[in-house]
Amino acid sequence: MDGPRRHILKTFRTERAWRVPRPPPPLTLPLRSMVSARKGHFVTAEQPVPQPVPAPLTAAAIFLVLTIDPGGEAAVRDVLSDWASLERAVGFRAPEPRLACIAGIGSPAWDRLFSGPRPAELHPFGELAGTVHRAVSTPGDLLFHIRHERMDLCFEFVTQVMSRLAGAATVADEVHGFRYFDERDLLGFVDGTENPVDGAAARAALVGAADPDFAGGSYVIVQKYLHDMAAWNALATEDQEKVIGRSKLSDIEMPDDVKPANSHVALNTIEDPDGTYYAGYAATPSVTEQMLTHMFIGNPPGNYDRILDFSTAVTGSLYFAPSADFLDDLPDPPDPPDPPDPAVQPSTSATPDTGSLGIGSLKRSNQA
C-alpha cells in the first residue's frame, strides 16, 4: 500500500461489549515546572497538559451526550472549571488505575460558554447521505466520557456531575460500556487492532502547533450503531470475514489482493437493539470525516462499507475536548445579549388566538 496510514485514536464501545485494555504507556508527569537535576533550577514546560485522551482503555465506561438548557450556561461552566478536582475526589477512592474523565464541547455550545477564539476546526457534525445508508447528525452540546476498571467509580463521578447540572442540562444519550471477552465487539471480531499507542496515540489525537491556542485538545466524533444481529449471525464465517477484511479467529488482515474493496478495513484506512458506540479522537476532525465519507458515500462513490448493511448509525455529533489547562482556567463567558429596545413595539399583526391546539387532528373547531 502506497503512502503512510493516517490514524485516529478510536474506541468502539458497546452496551454489551468492551475491549481488553492495552498495557499502559510509560508514565509521563504532566507538570508545568520540572526540576533540573543537573543545575537544580526550574524550567517551564510549554506544552499544555491534555485531558486523559490517550489513556489506556479500561473495563468499564460511561458516555453521556447532553444538551444545555436555556440559562444553564453558568452551571455548566462551574462544573467544567471543577472537572479536575471532581476527578481527583472520586478517583482517590481507587487510585490505580487512574480514573479518566474527558469533557468535550460542541460547536453551538462553545459560543454560549466562552468568549474569545474558538478551535479552528470545531463545527457541527455534518450528515452524510449515501445511496443506501446515512450517517445522521443528532443534537449534543456536551460529551462526557468516563472510564475506569470499575463501573462504580464511573457511576459515582457521573452522579456527582449530574447532581450539579440538575436543571441546567438534559441527557440526550447515555451508553454504558463493559469488557466483552478477548477484545472482541458484538460482531465477534477483534476491534481496534490498528489503534496507535504511546507517543503515536498522542500525535494522532492531540492538537499541536497548527492551532496553538488550543494545543493539547482533541476533536472527537461519537456515533451509536444498532446491529441486526440475526442477519449478521446468518452469514457464514467466511462471509463475515469478507465484510470486515480480517480473519475472525486470528485477527490477521487479509492481503490487499484478497480483501474486498468494500470491506470495513479497506474503507477505514486513510492515506497521508444490540449496539456499538464509536468514539474517534483526532488532532483534526477531517481525518475521521474522511473515514466516514468512505464508509457511507463510498470510495469510489457507491462502494460503501458493507458493515453498514448490518449496523445502523442512530446518533452522530462532534466535540472539542480542550486541554486540562483550558478547563482549569476558562475564558470569560460571552457578553450577555443586548436588552430589547423599549422604543420598539412588538408586532400585533399575528393571528388572534382562537384556542386551537394547532396540531392536525387535535385542532378544535370554532364553529357552533
* 292, 128 contact by CB (below 8 A): yes
Contact criterion met (CB below 8 Å) for 177 and 158 = no
Give pLDDT, residue 90.
Answer: 97
Phi-psi sector, 186: left (phi>0), alpha (psi -120 to 50), beta: alpha
Is residue 357 in some structural domain? no
pLDDT tens digit string along 299-337?
999 999 988 999 999 999 999 999 999 999 999 999 987
Bridge partners (DSSP) of residue 176 are 62
Residue 111 forms part of a structural domain: yes
Residue 340 has pLDDT above 60, yes or no: yes
Residue 72 has pLDDT above 80, yes or no: yes
Any idea which of 65-79, 117-131, 235-249 has the lowest mean pLDDT? 235-249
pTM score of the predicted model:
0.77
Q: How confident is the model over 209-252, as pLDDT tens digits? A: 999 999 999 999 999 999 888 998 898 888 888 777 777 666 67
pLDDT of residue 21: 35
The predicted structure's pLDDT at residue 245: 76
Q: Is 167 exposed, middle or buried (0-12, 13-18, 19+ CB in 10 A)?
A: exposed
As given in the structure block, the three cell numbers for residue 177 are 460500556
Catalytic residue, candidates 173, 191, 305, 325: 191
Categorize the per-residue pLDDT at 56 as very low, low, confident or very high, splitting at 50, 70 and 90: confident
pLDDT top residue among 366 and 324: 324
Q: Residue 62: inside a domain, yes or no?
A: yes
| Residue 204 located in a structural domain | yes
Q: Is residue 343 part of a domain?
A: no
- The span from the CA of 37 to the CA of 260, in Å, is 56
pLDDT for 235 equals 87
Domain of residue 131 covers 5-26+46-336
Average pLDDT over residues 88-111: 94
With contact defined as beta carbons under 8 Å apart, do 364 and 356 qualify?
yes
Q: Is 353 a catalytic residue?
A: no
Answer yes or no: are the C-beta atoms of 143 and 219 closer than 8 Å. no
Q: Is residue 74 helix, strand or coil?
A: helix
Residue 110 pLDDT > 80? yes
Mean pLDDT, the chain, integer: 80
Residue bearing cell 474517534: 280
Overall domain count for the chain: 1
Residue 295 covered by a domain? yes
